C-alpha cells in the first residue's frame, strides 16, 4: 500500500461528482493508492452519507452538483458535522474569486479540473496528515479528561467526579420528584490486609473490589472511590427497599470468593451504609452523605460485613 499510516484499515474517502467519467477516474486512482472509496453523484446523497457515524472524513467533491452544490456542502459540513471532515473541492472553475469563495465556505483545498494525478495524491496526503493529527489531539484530550475524572488505581470515578455525579442526580431528582439511593461502602480491616499481606496485595484488593462493585451496578449508576478504601455508589431511581436489596447484592458479591495475588489469598468484606435522596423533600449532598456515613458507622459497630440504614434523626452511637 502506498499510504504510510498506522491505521489498521485504509482511510475512507467519499467522492462526490455528477460526471460518470470523473467518478470512475478518481475512484480507480484512489483505490490504486490504497484508499477505501465511496462514490455518490449528487449533493443530497453526499449529505446523507456524511450524517452517518462511520462516514468518511476525507471528501473530494465537485462544485456543480445536483441537489446541494459542493460549496453549500462545505458550509453544511463546517456548521453541522461534529468530527472534522477534510474537503477537497475538485472543479472546472479556476478563477481566484472561485478559490476564495470555496475557502470562505469551508473547503480545505481547491483543485481545478482536469487535475494532475500526483498533485491530487499530494493534496490527499496533506489531508490525511491533518486528520491523523486531529484524531491524535482528540485522543489526547480524552485521555486527559479521563485522567482528571477517574482514580488511577481502580479506574472508578475519583472523589470529585462521583460527588459531581451525586450533585447532578440530586438536581434531577428534585426536578422529577424521584428518589435514588446513596451507598457508602468501606473495606473491613483494610489496614490489617496491608500490614499482613503487603501493600501490593492491598492495591489488588482495591482494584478487584472496585471491579466487583462496578459489575453489580448499571451503566447509568455512579460508582467512585470516595477515599482510601471507601467507595461511594449512587443508585439511580431506587427507593429504600430497592437500594437495600442492591447494596446487599454488592456486599455478597464482594465477599463471594477470595482475592488472590502471587500465592496470597484472602476473603475481603465490605460494610455499607445506605441513605435515600428524595426529590419530593429537597436536600443537599452533605445531608445524604452524612446519613449514609452514620449508617456505615453503625454497620461497623454491629459486626462489619453488613448493610445498614438509619432513619433520619436517629444517629448511630459513637
Residue of 220, 272, 267, 236 whose CA lies nearest to 251: 272
Give the H or E element holding residue 264.
strand 264-266
φ, ψ dihedrals at 17, nearest 5°: -155, 135
pLDDT tens per residue across span 218-244: 999 999 999 999 999 999 999 999 999
- C-beta separation of 59 from 127 below 8 A: no
The whole model's pTM is what? 0.67
Over 70: is that where the pLDDT of 317 sits? no
pLDDT in tens, 205-214: 999 999 999 9
Task: For the beta carbon of residue 29, count every other beta carbon within 10 angstroms.
Answer: 17
Residue 157: DSSP 8-state: B
How is residue 284 written as a grid cell? 443537599
Residues noted as catalytic: 229
Q: Which residue has 491530487 as its cell numbers?
A: 120
Domains plus CATH for the chain?
12-147 (3.40.50.2300), 159-309 (3.30.70.270)
Q: Is 235 helix (H, G, I), strand (E, B) or coil?
A: strand
For residue 157 the three cell numbers come to 470515578
Give dist(CA 63, CA 46) in Å, integer: 13
Amino acid at each position: 500500500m502506498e499510504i504510510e499510516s498506522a491505521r489498521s484499515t485504509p482511510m475512507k474517502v467519499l467522492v462526490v461528482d455528477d460526471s460518470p467519467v470523473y467518478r470512475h477516474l478518481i475512484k480507480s486512482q484512489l483505490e490504486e493508492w490504497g484508499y477505501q472509496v465511496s462514490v455518490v453523484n449528487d449533493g443530497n446523497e453526499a449529505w446523507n452519507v456524511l450524517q452517518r457515524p462511520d462516514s468518511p472524513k476525507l471528501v473530494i467533491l465537485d462544485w456543480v452538483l445536483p441537489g446541494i452544490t459542493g460549496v453549500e456542502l462545505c458550509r453544511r459540513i463546517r456548521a453541522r458535522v461534529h468530527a472534522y471532515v477534510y474537503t477537497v473541492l475538485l472543479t472546472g472553475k479556476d478563477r481566484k474569486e472561485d478559490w476564495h469563495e470555496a475557502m470562505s465556505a469551508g473547503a480545505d483545498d481547491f483543485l481545478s479540473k482536469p487535475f494532475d494525478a500526483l498533485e491530487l495524491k499530494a493534496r490527499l496526503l496533506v489531508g490525511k496528515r491533518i486528520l491523523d493529527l486531529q484524531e491524535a489531539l482528540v485522543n489526547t484530550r480524552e485521555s486527559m479528561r479521563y485522567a482528571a475524572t477517574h482514580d488511577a488505581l481502580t479506574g472508578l470515578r475519583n472523589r470529585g467526579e462521583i460527588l459531581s455525579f451525586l450533585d447532578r442526580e440530586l438536581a434531577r431528582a428534585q426536578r422529577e420528584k424521584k428518589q435514588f439511593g446513596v451507598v457508602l461502602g468501606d473495606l473491613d480491616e483494610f489496614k490489617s490486609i496491608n500490614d499482613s499481606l503487603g501493600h501490593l496485595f492491598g492495591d489488588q484488593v482495591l482494584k478487584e473490589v472496585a471491579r466487583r462493585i462496578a459489575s453489580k451496578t448499571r451503566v447509568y449508576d455512579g460508582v467512585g472511590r470516595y477515599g482510601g478504601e471507601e467507595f461511594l455508589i449512587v443508585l439511580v431511581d431506587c427507593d429504600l427497599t430497592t437500594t437495600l436489596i442492591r447494596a446487599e447484592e454488592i456486599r455478597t458479591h464482594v465477599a463471594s470468593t477470595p482475592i488472590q495475588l502471587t500465592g496470597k489469598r484472602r476473603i475481603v468484606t465490605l460494610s455499607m451504609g445506605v441513605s435515600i435522596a428524595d426529590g419530593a423533600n429537597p436536600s443537599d449532598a452533605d445531608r445524604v452523605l452524612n446519613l449514609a456515613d452514620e449508617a456505615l458507622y453503625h454497620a461497623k459497630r454491629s459486626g462489619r460485613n453488613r448493610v445498614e440504614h438509619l432513619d433520619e434523626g436517629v444517629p448511630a452511637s459513637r
